[in-house]
Amino acid sequence: MTAPKVPQKPQLPKAREILANAPLPLHDLDELSAFTLNEVDLAEQRAAHLTWRGVACRQVRLTDTQFDPLRLTDVLFTGCDLANAQWERVTAQRLVFDACQLIGFDTPDARWQDVTFSHCRAQYAKFRFSKFKRVRFEGCDLRNADFQGSDLSGVIF
């Protein structure tokens, strides 16, 4: 058996619109592309069919959000709070979660490819029935995390 390869890093565009400390209401079918979000509060928002591409999130509050489905490509989450977020049917490619709060984060039926979770608090996170390809959990607290029915063959813990 060969070891999973190292995940690719997000490819963020050099020119990104910056949004800091401002409201950002999300709506069904929204596409967010080439953005930097600094300390934006998105907590408790609900939306369907969201797409994010080339987005850097720094200290963004995403607690109790509900997104279904959600497509993420080339996204960086740094110091973000995703506690109790419910993101169903996520399709994620080239993501990094660095020092994020993922306590109770719930992502059933997700497809994770080239994703790094680094130094995240992910107690009670739920990754049920998900598929992982080139995914790495580095220094994360995964106590009581739930991977029931998931394909973990592409994961490095």
CATH number at residue 67: 2.160.20.80
Q: Which pLDDT belongs to residue 2?
A: 57
Q: How far is CA 54 from the centre of its chain?
A: 13
In-domain check, residue 8: no
* d(C-alpha 110, C-alpha 88), whole Å: 7
Element (H, E) at 55: strand 50-58
When mean pLDDT is compared across 12-16, 87-91, 150-154, the lowest value belongs to: 12-16
Considering its fold, how many domains does the chain have in total?
A: 1
In-domain check, residue 1: no
In-domain check, residue 49: yes
Q: Which pLDDT belongs to residue 22?
A: 86
Query: Percentage of the chain surpassing pLDDT 90?
Result: 90
In-domain check, residue 6: no
In-domain check, residue 10: no
- What range does the domain containing 57 cover? 17-150
In-domain check, residue 26: yes
User: Are the beta carbons of 132 and 5 closer than 8 angstroms?
Assistant: no
In-domain check, residue 68: yes
Q: Which pLDDT belongs to residue 87?
A: 98
In-domain check, residue 123: yes
